[in-house]
Amino acid sequence: MVTNEWNIVIVEELIFVLIVLPFLAAICSYLIRSGAVRSFIVLATGSLMAASALLLIPRVPFAFSPKALFGVGVHDIILAADFFLLFLILYFGFKHHSLVIKILALFQIVLMAYLEFFLIRDDAAFLTIYCDNLTLIMVLIISIVGSIICVQAIPYMKNHEEHLDLKKSRQHRFFFVMILFLGAMNGLVLSNDMVFFYFFFEVTTLCSFLLIAHDGTETAIKNAVRALWMNSLGGAAFIVALVLIYKEMGALDMQRIVHTSPAAGLCLLALALLCFAAFTKAAQFPFQGWLLGAMVAPTPVSALLHSSTMVKVGVYLVLRLAPAMNGTFLSQCVALFGGFTFLAAAALAVGQSNGKKVLAYSTISNLGLIFACAGLNTPEAVTAAILLIIFHAVIKALLFLCVGTIEQHIESRDIEDMRGLYAQMPLTALITVMGVIMMIMPPFGILLGKWMAMEAAARNLYVIIMLAVGSALPVMYWARWAGTLMSDPFAGRFRPERQPLLTWGALASLCAAGGILSIASPWLYSRMIIPALNGNYVPPYTVHVGILENSFGVFPVLPLCLVAALGFVISIWAVRRAARARIIAPYLSGLQTAEPGVFRGPMNRLVKAEARNYYLSSIFGEERLTTWINLGAAVLLTLLVGGAL
């Protein structure tokens, strides 16, 4: 714990930069409608947040309760803002004629009033801010990856609005919500008082609604409304859980819940409801609809929702509560549900040729795996979950930004239209392929996490079968995509295409981060993840010269990285030599012509040879699977909540 008073002052300042500054910066970028000033605000806020998050590293763990902000009690601010927020959601319910949203908002207003004015005693005060290594990891992801995405959004939105031919720029609104989102996320992960947590939880719901609706088209509004009601459902479950927890324990203190592990009676039901809320945020089946619909928004929004914010709220919440659920039926249900989602979403991804949809299903699938790990609740599994959160955030952000860049260039997000993209956009195509490789191949971080998860799940028959089948499916859709990008008639010399500097900066930094963090993963494990286990779990692996080992498994991270790097260098050397080799036309089983892909067929006619990827929609198509998967997920959810009763 931080004892030094000077240190406490610094920590308070850093927390101010991480939570309050984004709110202020958001308001500034809304009010000052000049592109240059806005870009400056985004860059400055992003850098400040990233720097503050890094400065926080040597100062954890710490906990404190700020009394007042600008002379007003913090608790009063949150309370007022919370009611304002709920009434705002109610307003959107009326505006878009959605009965579900109206009912859910009213329900939350009533329960919130009941909780605040009748239940919680006036003198009650819970520890407001608590930061351990798990929180710190989240803060780092949000502040660094989130900021990079916002920075890339500057050139993206400029292009986007030029393309839409807007008379009046709406970027001030866009960046207002984006920056606000980051502040809310930091607030959420740092909150220990669950009323604060709930407030930020609702802010992220509203932010994602506003961002999805940003383009204002009919589909955008429809999908945004769907996101709002699905997430309001989670919010409603959350507030019911709060009431139950307060009635049972007399406190709304996250750490107290974790440490007393009150996994019985009403508290268990409350934990189940919190898991339910987490599943809606993380777009697990049957709530996948809102995340799939979110792809109508500009791509930086998808990148933000999928990688560092929103969906990560769900996994963070469950991972935070995991020690309290240890050994319960609820925990097993979460593992089962996560495993099911992992498999089902991967199957649906195989059937998609829409690049963004593949990414979306892959996100749902990976989050399912993280939930499965949290549910398995062994030290290995929790370590895997934290690793997966880190690497998924970095690499999914990278892939979304790549698809966004590609989409603005070729005006399509269909994988078939990206055939031979290497000829047009060599560097972006290569970075995308790197991202794909980091998704599916060792020694990169995601595979390290998958390896841990599978070895941890081996003692659970149902989960391991789903993980075994589900881990083969991603190979199919990622390898197919990577190969399609490189599929081209030989394009001659390598010339990177022109892109704004900020775009290159964002792509390169995320790509490099994925690689460097993978190499550093043994260090990441011993320096960041062991402290994040908080003494709730025994550190599962020993680290010896970059080799992670426990009693039943071993993953030589550093040696493998070195060998892989050597193999990579040799292969690149082979490419350079092959560039001098004779380039021949692909075999077409006919007389070749000068035009690529065309051969002289029967009757001396020219025939164009074409091939497309297998998407197997008769097996993995959405129409075929979605109903059954939703049904299965609903059954598991019923089991999860019902079992807690």
Give me the least distance between CB of 585 and another protein, in Å please: 7
The one segment of 53-61, 163-171, 201-209, 474-482 that binds another protein by CB under 8 A? 474-482
From candidates 572, 606, 634, 635, binder to another protein by CB under 8 A: 572
Q: Which of 432, 412, 435 is nearest to 422 (CA)?
A: 432
Distance between CA 276 and CA 508 in Å, rounded? Answer: 37
- Kindly state the number of chain residues that form the binding site for another protein, as judged by CB under 8 A: 70
The one segment of 113-121, 230-238, 333-341, 480-488 that binds another protein by CB under 8 A? 480-488
575 part of the interface to another protein, by CB under 8 A? yes
134 part of the interface to another protein, by CB under 8 A? no
DSSP 8-state secondary structure symbol assigned to residue 632: H
Residue with tokens 């799939």: 292
7 CB-near residues (< 8 Å, 6+ apart): 59
Positions in 323-382 near another protein (CB under 8 A): none
Cis previous bond, 61, omega within 30: yes
Q: Which is nearer to another protein, 76 or 416 (CB)?
A: 416
From candidates 10, 69, 221, 588, binder to another protein by CB under 8 A: 588
505 part of the interface to another protein, by CB under 8 A? no
DSSP codes of every residue in 366-398:
HHHHHHHHHHH--HHHHHHHHHHHHHHHHHHHH
From candidates 66, 505, 597, 601, binder to another protein by CB under 8 A: 597
DSSP codes of every residue in 28-65:
HHHH---HHHHHHHHHHHHHHHHHHHHHHGGG-SEEE-
594 part of the interface to another protein, by CB under 8 A? no
Are the C-beta atoms of residues 572 and 359 closer than 8 Å to each other?
no
The one segment of 33-41, 48-56, 378-386, 440-448 that binds another protein by CB under 8 A? 440-448
9 part of the interface to another protein, by CB under 8 A? no
Using alpha carbons only, give the angle 51, 315, 325 rounded to the nearest 5 degrees. 125
From candidates 121, 167, 498, 582, binder to another protein by CB under 8 A: 582
Binding mask 506-545 vs another protein (x if CB under 8 A, - otherwise)?
Answer: ----------------------------------------
From candidates 545, 584, 603, 645, binder to another protein by CB under 8 A: 584
From candidates 32, 80, 110, 578, binder to another protein by CB under 8 A: 578
AA letter at 99: L
From candidates 61, 66, 289, 420, binder to another protein by CB under 8 A: 420
483 part of the interface to another protein, by CB under 8 A? yes
636 CB neighbour count, 10 Å cutoff: 21
Q: Which of 452, 498, 491, 489 is nearest to 471 (CA)?
A: 452
In sequence order, which ranges of 304-444 are alpha helices (DSSP H)?
A: 311-325, 329-350, 355-376, 379-410, 421-424, 426-440
Using alpha carbons only, give the angle 597, 603, 608 rounded to the nearest 5 degrees. 15
Q: Which is nearer to another protein, 40 or 490 (CB)?
A: 490
Give me the least distance between CB of 410 and another protein, in Å please: 17
Name the 3-class secondary structure at 4: coil
Q: Which is nearer to another protein, 55 or 609 (CB)?
A: 609
DSSP codes of every residue in 167-200:
SS--HHHHHHHHHHHHHHHHHHHHB-BHHHHHHH
The one segment of 91-99, 227-235, 279-287, 547-555 that binds another protein by CB under 8 A? 547-555
Q: Which residues bind another protein (CB under 8 A)?
A: 420, 422, 440-442, 447, 450-451, 454-455, 458-459, 461, 464-465, 467-469, 471-473, 475-476, 479-480, 482-484, 486-490, 551-556, 560, 563-564, 567-568, 570-572, 574-575, 577-579, 581-589, 596-597, 609-614, 619
